[in-house]
Structure 1
């Protein structure tokens, strides 16, 4: 059997899981009750398959370093990591086309691509491995193979796949892909037994997917091929990343692989399976991962409840008091609170969409923001003022940068800071500080072996995050030619 390369697709904002999932820290990075993120679970599921020694991930530039942070503690086996970094999301058809073209050029057109969404949960690893084996056998016969989950309820939140003729003991030809149904239709699907939930996972030979894209989605294939010709590849010791060119990638059609290809292709097969699968697509799905107490409540964090039943309360950093509540979802974060009817958890996406239309930061960012060098947390913000807590990882370095409209005052809380402030370079120890004037080049480096913790006080006419001019950067965030 040909080489198998799992491909994790880590896109999307997870708007139905706001306020925990946000554009800069989306759903795959959400930690489940066991402390692992959905992305980490997907990584372990992929590299746990037999004879896998290379993993491809398609994700955004913005979360690349956070993705590495999630992978590295788990990569004991030394699996080589490939990344395709999108400048902006263009849906799954361009992402999979880029993955197929990349694998064809690097590892040959006979390689098999196993496409796995980064934000799904699968609990039965034995069944998953068996389903992949079935899919691989069909893929080697030229089929584009999807995985259909045997439905356990009349679900209206998922797309469905209708089974066609049986191919062999491994699967069926796909008769059609079906949109999310209403409740009556979903019950009919469940009773008839011919329909499966569409998991969004695929297995296919690279030459097969490229052939079908050329026939049924030529605009996608041509646009992505053109983009790859203008994109840069960076090779490290055990990591390779392909940065898609931002100008040409935006020319690719914004379309899903289902709409763009699978619904038009005749050679699509489905492997029915039962994997303990969930797409974790709403807070209702998340709450089902935790046991309920005697009143039907699932709570994370300190609480005092009186006459409260069937509620999900996730407030790890704040005491919650509740009186006379029933069937609610309450999600608390440092800068946003969600209160929703549990029966309408799918509608949380409308809150996130409204925030995006307003340009509100709560759609994009948390109070604590991850950067390649560490994190910063906004402690207080007002007109002409912002106070941050900055944590720089050992050997981490902020870019050499300047600000046009604000000054900064840095105070070391713990650790040692190596500072560039204009023409001066010096070290700061605990309780020492420095002042940086507007327009002055500056940089902060942690030369030590423990975290550097700083307080930064910004003041000036404008303290927005976009008032930054990067002059040089060890993480490649300075545009080429500067």
Structure 2
């Protein structure tokens, strides 16, 4: 049989799950109650399929190293990892077109491309594997195969698939109103659109050429200008930003599936959820006698039907009913539990305002480790910096701020202008604005530091990179 290449599509900010999901740390990295992220579960599900020896991931290049870290926590030693790194999101049609062209070049046009969103949850793995087997048989007959989930309720937050004759799809339907969704549930001819696909690459490329030729041409041109980096058990392709921008920002449903006459559906029951809202998240945990689900320490009096997630701060509640309360280090969400889909409007408003809480948490992951903003105000910022063993920050300069570095634990190898030296615990250095500097952890244990920034501007974009072992030489 043709090779099976799972393709994890990791895009989007998950705005309905703000303030936990943010642009720089989106929904696939969210931890579930069992401690695993949605991305890790998708990775394990994909690499656990029989006969899988290659896995392709399409994601933003800004989260590439975090994605690698997630995969390495649950390694699949016999699976080679391919990455297509987008400079920015252009929706699923360009992403899947790039994946198809990449797979055709490396593994052959007869390969089966199994497209899996990175942020969905599937609890019945055996049913998933059976559905994939059925989809592959249809794909070998020339069908573009989608997976339709048997609806269990009248859901207005999902798109629907209307079944046609045999395995064919009659049409795709946008999110319906409540009355229409109830009709779909009772009629038995409609399935939830899961956003998962199984496609033989040559069939997909033929249909793209017929129904979305401009997307296919733009992505083909982009791949011609996109360098490929080969390593042990790994291939990395960085999409060229100028040519990728020419591809339309459109979903695969709009661009292709709604126009093709060769779309089939595999109806299935997988224990599936897109974890698309806080209401979906709360359904993963059992409720107490009052219908409350709580994470963290709470003291409640006369509280019913509430979901409270506050891992670090005590929450006290009196006389509350049907609320969602999500507390993070720098943002608090309070929402009517029946309107969890509307949380996206808060995230959208923050983005329009240019507010940092749309994009960043106080703790931010970097290829070399992480930093946490402890406090900031006019003219200063205080950070806790953790550098991984053998990690290295870029050789860089700041125009508007100076920095004081204090080593809490570990060993720091420091470049400060023309000087190079080593700092140990309780030792420090001062870096003037405009001076090139670098921080390296040369040991096999974590380096923990406190950084004090002072200046007329302490934004994260005040950085000029001269040299970087992770390839980040462009100013963000």
TM-score (norm 2): 0.99
Given that 2:5 and 2:114 are in contact with CA atoms closer than 8 Å, whether structure 1 keeps it comes out as yes
Rounded Cα–Cα distance in structure 2 between residues aligned with 1:336 and 1:461 = 25
The whole-number CA distance in structure 1 between the counterparts of 2:197 and 2:219 is 20
After TM superposition, the structure 1 = structure 2 runs for residues 417-428 of structure 1, keeping only pairs within 5 Å, are 417-428=412-423
Write the distance in 1 (CA, Å) between the matches of 2:384 and 2:193.
44
1:310-329 matches, cutoff 5 A: 310-329=305-324
1:203 aligns with 2:195: no
| Alignment gaps of 5+ in structure 2 | none
After the TM superposition, which residues 237-386 of structure 1 pair with which residues of structure 2 at under 5 Å, given as runs?
237-386=232-381
Write out per-residue CA displacement over residues 27-75 of structure 1, whole angstroms, 9 at most, x where no aligned residue: 0000000000000000000000001011000000110000000001211
Aligned match for 1:440, one of 435, 440, 443: 435
Q: CA deviation at 1:381?
A: 0.9
**How much has 1:436 moved relative to structure 2?**
0.4
- Show CA shifts across 1:369-409 (max 9, x none): 00000000011111110110000000000000011111100
In structure 2, distance between residues paired with 1:336 and 1:479:
30
The aligned residue for residue 473 of structure 2 is 478
Deviation at 1:76, TM superposition (A): 3.9
Q: Secondary structure of 1:409's partner?
A: strand
- Once residues 161 and 89 of structure 1 are traced to their aligned partners in structure 2, the CA distance between those partners, rounded to angstroms, is 25
Structure 1: 4+ residue segments shifted above 6 A: none
1:139-178 residue CA offsets vs partner (Å, 9 max, x unmatched): 0111000000000111111000011111xxxxx1000001
The answer to whether the Cα contact below 8 Å between 2:47 and 2:76 also exists between their aligned partners in 1 is no
- Distance in structure 1 (CA, Å) of the matches to 2:13 and 2:155: 22
Name 2:114's counterpart in structure 1: 114
Secondary structure, counterpart of 1:74 in structure 2: coil
Does residue 229 of structure 2 align to residue 234 of structure 1? yes
Task: Give the Cα–Cα distance (whole angstroms) in 2 for the partners of residues 431 and 60 of structure 1.
Answer: 38
Helix, strand or coil at the partner of 2:73: helix
Deviation at 1:78, TM superposition (A): 3.2
What whole-Å deviation, never above 9, does each CA across 1:403-442 have from its counterpart, x for those lacking one? 1111100000000001011111111000000000111111
Name 1:8's counterpart in structure 2: 8
2:177 is equivalent to residue 182 of structure 1: yes
Report which stretch shifted further, 276-285 or 458-467.
458-467
Equivalent residue number for residue 84 of structure 1: 84
Match of 1:96 in 2: 96
Match for residue 169 of structure 1?
Answer: none
| Gapped regions of structure 1 (runs ≥ 5) | 167-171
- Looking at structure 2, the residues matched to 162 and 479 of structure 1 have their Cα atoms a distance apart, in angstroms, of 47
In 2, distance between residues paired with 1:111 and 1:133?
14
CA distance in 2: counterparts of 1:77 and 1:69, whole angstroms: 14
Task: Return the alpha-carbon distance in structure 1 between the equivalents of residues 203 and 77 of structure 2.
Answer: 30
Structure 1 position 47 matched with structure 2 position 47: yes
How far apart are the structure 2 equivalents of 1:472 and 1:344?
47
Shift of 1:77: 2.7
Structure 2 CA distance, aligned partners of 1:464 and 1:51? 48
TM-score using structure 1 length: 0.98
Matched, 1:401 2:396: yes
